[in-house]
A and B are shown apart, each in its own frame.
Chain A
Amino acid sequence: MNREEFLHSLEDRLQVLNKQEREDILSEYRQHIELRIGSGLSEEAAIQDFGNLDDLAVEILDAYNVDPEYGRKRHIRLFGGEGKKNHFSSTVKEEADRGKRIFQTIGKKVSGAVKRCLTCLKQWAQTCCLGFGRKKKISEETLPADLEQTEGKNRKRKQGYQWMRSIKRGILWCIKAAGTVFLLLPMAVMDLAGVVCLGILVVLTVLGYPVVGFMVGMFGGVVGCTALFLLVQDILFGHGEKGGNNI
């Protein structure tokens, strides 16, 4: 058996691997044979040093965690039963199409339900706003009718409003302070710790440790924590600013 024959029959036995991996391992063997010949050995002898070809193929497939039996079966199927293969691929396609259809109908139903809910909410909000606006208008209309009476009432009402407003402001301030101390600060600390851990994991991954999974998980955690932090911050302070503008 010469070099090309050897490499060709080895490649046949490794069909289960993808092309790039196959080329990769075969180039190692090709180079090994070349260097052996360079050091004065005959081509035959260099190939014989590899021992039994089947055992070698089993060894290689084992290194890729591929069951050598599976490799052999596939080898037979690929080169012995073309019809079977076509049947296999067509059934796979049918299944995939059916799955796609099911997902599409589910998606349509869900989006329809969400849309209906949204329109309901919108209508409800509109009726509320309209009702509020109408009341206000009525009170404005009645104002010029008996001015003196209503002015005195208005002044009293204003004082009452101011008093209520200061209480409201105090409660809001308390909620904001509590939220900052008990929610925002711990979250910020956790977020910072997460970022530090993420940095360490990235460095470890670059160094070659098998911690890619942890890194991705940590990244997700950091992003989630940041989003939560921003949400809480928006609820506490974004709302407050709007209220301030109204006042």
Chain B
Amino acid sequence: MNVQFKKGVLELIVLLSVTGRDMYGYELVDEVSKVIDVNEGTIYPLLKRLTNERYFETYLRESTEGPPRKYYHLTAAGVLYKDRLKKDWEEFSAKVNGFIKECDGE
């Protein structure tokens, strides 16, 4: 898949993954990797940026194996941001799909 496409949609997929329940980094990387094949290293900086922009808040929770894990939780601002991105994506993909059909029809 086109690298630029992946880059553009990665943020939306990360936000959508955390909507249902809080996740720790590795879990989130796994979840995102199911949808798109992406370099795992690039997800952590994205998480960091979204946290700095207050769309995520983090907390530590003990785990049965190994050190405590940092969980990511979507804030109210994050939910708003996610909804906006989702709407943008839906409008954008609908337009592109419509245009593809139009071109195929001709």
Our pick among A29, A35, A207 for the contact of B41 (Cβ within 8 Å) is A29
B79 closest partner in A (C-beta): A208
| Cβ-Cβ contact count across A and B, 8 Å cutoff | 67
A31: contacting residue among B26, B46, B75, B76, CB under 8 A? B26
- A 27-39 binary contact with B (CB < 8 Å = 1; else 0): 1110110110010
Interface size class of A (residues with CB under 8 A): 20 to 34
Residues of B near A25 (CB, < 8 A) are 44-45, 48
Is the CB–CB distance between B42 and A207 below 8 Å? Answer: no
Size category of the binding interface on chain B: 20 to 34
Taking a contact as CB atoms under 8 Å apart, the answer to whether A207 and B45 are in contact is no
CA distance A62 to B67 in the complex (A): 28
What sequence of 0s and 1s flags, for each residue 11-45 of chain B, a beta carbon within 8 Å of any chain A beta carbon? Answer: 00000000000000110010000000001111011
Taking CB as reference atom, which chain A residue is nearest B25?
A28
Describe A's contact surface by its main secondary structure.
helix
A32/B40 contact (C-beta < 8 A), A25-B48, A63-B46 known: yes
Q: What are the residues of chain B within 8 A of A70 when measuring CB–CB?
A: none
Contact pick for B77, options A38, A62, A63, A208, CB 8 Å: A208
Determine if A60 is an interface residue (Cβ-Cβ < 8 Å). Answer: yes
The reply to whether A28 and B40 form a contact with Cβ atoms under 8 Å apart is no
List residues of chain B with CB within 8 A of the CB of A32.
25-26, 29, 40, 44
CB distance from A61 to the nearest CB of B (A): 8
Residues of A within 8 A of B26 (CB): 31-32, 35
Indicate if the CB atoms of A31 and B67 lie closer than 8 Å: yes
| Chain B contact residues, CB within 8 Å of chain A | 25-26, 29, 39-42, 44-49, 52-55, 57, 65-67, 69-70, 75-78
Residues of A within 8 A of B (CB): 24-25, 27-29, 31-32, 34-35, 38, 49-51, 56, 59-60, 62-64, 207-210
